[in-house]
């Protein structure tokens, strides 16, 4: 067979390719050139280091004088590809440029953002019902370095305005609060922050960009635990921050110093999750609405919080802020179910489920439940829980992709069997 007849893609090592020893040949074996065709899937750069032609090239990239990659703790192409995809979801329709950074977890994203924006003597305004992990970073880490915080009860712009101080570095908000499902007045908060010249940072984890895009309503930065709806299958951990380019440059510098970058394999999975995010979230939301409506009048439920219910305090605000699709308005897929009774009753509700699963996290294909006071908000004492509007028996229900009828039947039987 002549060379002309050989397959173009047949790997061939040329004759007399060198006299190096076996260990050198093993380390420095030949590599294929990058393909000319654009791959349909995202390539995964599973490498810690990148090679340069010269020492000066290395210095220029590491010193941020030229674009490129040197070390995957600094930047990685797969992590950047995921960040870019997440930014495109959040930035739709905006008139300004938007940047993003990917992190190893939602808490890495949150803590790095807080550390990047605060210094000794800074002040933070946050909701009393803030996620327990965020509360822990503020109270147990930042306060040790002279950062103070005001946790605002209520969800209105006037309460935020009253809490501001000259040293306030940022206002933190949650689109849908964990676990109370309170909806933040994002446009009102943004107006207050704009007048004060400080950034509004919004945790959009419970919504995802398929339900709400806080940058559209004036937020400076949006943080999301990508572990949840973006990943969507309970098999990956990550976080992402999207927003103002100058603020994101500060956050990138802090991320490099603190070392919390997203790993390439996780970046691949999260980028893949973006591809089906709108389809999955639409189904999550439709099922959650059906479950909430079916349980709203159950005699064993003292309170059920879901933004899609007309009885929810911020139902009209949710109508304004949240996205719609062919299936209707999307109100998220988290329910806060509070049966009458104490902590033991809440735990009994979790244990009584057959379809729903007691598990950490949320936003995956499985419906998962957690007893709030003993798990996600364990960092809070009883006074802090009460200030956040969380009862001892409250159970957070993350609606998955099961059939609505099965979930309704499962929750009803568990409620009916609760101890009196």
pLDDT digit string, tens, across residues 25-57: 889 888 888 889 999 999 999 999 999 999 999
Whether 30 is covered by a domain: the verdict is no
Please tell me the predicted confidence (pLDDT) of residue 257: 97
| Catalytic machinery residues | 73, 131, 203, 228
Distances (CA, A) of 240 to 44, 45, 65, 80, 237: 18, 19, 25, 10, 11
Residue located via tokens 């591809």: 275
DSSP 138: I
pTM attached to this predicted model: 0.93
Q: Can you give the C-alpha Rg of the chain in angstroms?
A: 24
Number of compact structural domains in the chain: 2
pLDDT (tens digit per residue) in 358-391:
999 999 999 999 999 998 788 777 788 787 788 9
| Full pLDDT tens readout for the chain, 420 residues | 666 678 888 888 888 777 889 898 889 888 888 889 999 999 999 999 999 999 999 999 999 999 999 999 999 999 999 999 999 999 998 999 999 999 999 999 999 999 999 999 999 999 988 888 999 999 999 999 999 999 998 777 899 999 999 999 999 999 999 889 999 999 999 999 999 999 999 999 999 999 999 999 999 999 999 999 999 999 999 999 999 999 999 999 999 999 999 999 999 999 999 999 999 999 999 999 999 999 999 999 999 999 999 999 999 999 999 999 998 999 999 999 999 999 999 999 999 999 999 999 999 999 999 999 998 788 777 788 787 788 999 999 999 999 999 999 999 999 999 998
Run of H or E residues at 289: helix 264-295
Residue 88 three-state SS: helix
Please tell me the predicted confidence (pLDDT) of residue 272: 98
The CATH number of the domain holding residue 181 is: 3.40.640.10
Whether 6 is covered by a domain: the verdict is no
Tokens of residue 77, six digits: 């192409």
Please tell me the predicted confidence (pLDDT) of residue 114: 98
330/267 same-domain check = no
Per the structure, the complete domain to which residue 404 belongs is given by 276-416
Query: From CA 331, how far away is CA 85, in angstroms rounded?
Result: 23
Residue 164 three-state SS: coil
CB 219 within 8 A of CB 162: no
Residue 105 three-state SS: coil
266/290 same-domain check = no
Whether 306 is covered by a domain: the verdict is yes
221/311 same-domain check = no
Residue 172 three-state SS: strand
Estimate to the nearest angstrom the gap between the alpha carbon of 134 and the chain centroid. Answer: 12
Query: From CA 371, how far away is CA 360, in angstroms rounded?
Result: 10
Strand order of the β-sheet with 301-305 is: 301-305, 334-339, 395-398, 368-371, 357-358
Q: Tally the residues of the chain.
A: 420
CB 231 within 8 A of CB 73: no
Query: From CA 380, how far away is CA 371, in angstroms rounded?
Result: 14
Query: From CA 300, how far away is CA 416, in angstroms rounded?
Result: 7
321/400 same-domain check = yes
Give the β-pairing of 221-225 and 200-203: parallel
Last residue of a domain, one of 221, 238, 272: 272
Please tell me the predicted confidence (pLDDT) of residue 271: 98
Cis amide prior to 179 (ω within 30 degrees): yes
């Amino acid at each position: 067979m002549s060379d002309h007849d050989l397959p173009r893609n047949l790997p061939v090592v040329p004759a007399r390719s060198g006299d190096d020893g076996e260990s050198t040949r093993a380390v420095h074996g030949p590599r294929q050139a990058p393909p000319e065709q654009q791959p349909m899937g995202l390539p995964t750069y599973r490498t810690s280091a990148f090679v340069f032609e010269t020492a000066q090239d290395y210095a220029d990239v590491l010193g941020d004088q030229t674009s490129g990659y040197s070390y995957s703790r600094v930047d990685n192409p797969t992590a950047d590809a995921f960040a870019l995809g997440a930014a495109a979801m959040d930035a739709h329709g905006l008139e300004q440029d938007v940047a993003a950074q990917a992190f190893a977890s939602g808490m890495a994203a949150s803590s790095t953002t807080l550390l990047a924006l605060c210094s000794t003597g800074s002040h933070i305004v946050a909701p009393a019902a803030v996620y327990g992990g965020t509360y822990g970073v503020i109270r147990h880490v930042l306060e040790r370095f002279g950062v103070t915080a005001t946790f605002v009860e209520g969800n209105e712009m006037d309460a935020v305005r009253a809490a501001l101080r000259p040293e306030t570095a940022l206002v933190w908000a949650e689109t849908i609060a964990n676990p109370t499902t309170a909806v933040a007045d994002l446009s009102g908060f943004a107006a207050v922050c704009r007048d004060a010249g400080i950034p509004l940072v919004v945790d959009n984890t419970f919504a995802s960009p398929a339900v709400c895009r806080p940058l559209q309503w004036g937020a400076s930065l949006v943080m999301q635990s990508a572990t949840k709806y973006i990943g969507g299958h309970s098999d990956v951990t990550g976080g992402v921050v999207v927003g103002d380019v100058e603020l994101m440059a500060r956050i990138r510098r802090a991320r490099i110093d603190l070392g919390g970058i997203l790993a390439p394999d996780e970046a691949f999975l999260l980028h893949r999750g973006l591809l089906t995010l709108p389809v999955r979230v639409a189904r999550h939301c439709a099922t959650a609405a059906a479950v909430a409506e079916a349980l709203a009048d159950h005699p064993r439920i003292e309170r059920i919080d879901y933004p899609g219910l007309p009885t929810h305090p911020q139902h009209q605000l949710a109508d304004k802020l949240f996205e719609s699709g062919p299936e209707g308005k999307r109100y998220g897929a988290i329910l806060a179910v509070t049966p009458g009774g104490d902590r033991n009753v809440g735990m009994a509700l979790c244990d009584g489920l057959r379809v729903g699963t007691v598990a950490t996290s949320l936003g995956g294909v499985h419906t998962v439940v957690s007893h709030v006071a003993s798990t996600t908000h364990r960092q809070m004492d009883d006074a802090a829980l009460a200030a956040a509007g969380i009862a001892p028996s409250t159970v957070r229900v993350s609606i998955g992709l099961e059939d609505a009828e099965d979930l309704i039947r499962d929750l009803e039987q568990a409620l009916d069997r609760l101890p009196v």
